[in-house]
Amino acid sequence: MRKQSRLWCGHCNGYLSRAAFWKHRKAYYDVHSERWVTIKDVENIEQEAKKGKYEPEFHDEPNLSDSSGDEDLETAISNQGM
């Protein structure tokens, strides 16, 4: 049996070549929710961003400028030598 040469893309609701399908899947398919990000979803996000309603989620990043841990480490190392 011959393989189907075109695959259905849930992002653009059409058949694509295998190469284009896998590029779209990589870019627009959320494996965790098992859901395609559709063109309408992208348009809604862009419209909300223009209105100022969409705020991307930012995750707290560790503060690397805090050196208090370094002083404790230096104290511990110097006490081991005694």
Assigned domain for 48 exists: yes
Cα 79 to Cα 11: distance, rounded to the nearest angstrom: 62
Its pTM surpasses 0.75: no
Assigned domain for 1 exists: no
Residue 3: the pLDDT is 64
Assigned domain for 77 exists: no
Number of domains in the chain: 1
Residue 16: the pLDDT is 93
Domain that holds residue 37: 29-54
Assigned domain for 38 exists: yes
Residue 28: the pLDDT is 87
Cα 58 to Cα 41: distance, rounded to the nearest angstrom: 20
Q: What is the pLDDT of residues 3-54, one digit of tens each?
A: 678 999 988 889 999 999 999 999 888 888 888 888 788 788 888 888 776 5
Assigned domain for 47 exists: yes
Other CB atoms within a 10 A radius of the CB of residue 38 amount to: 14
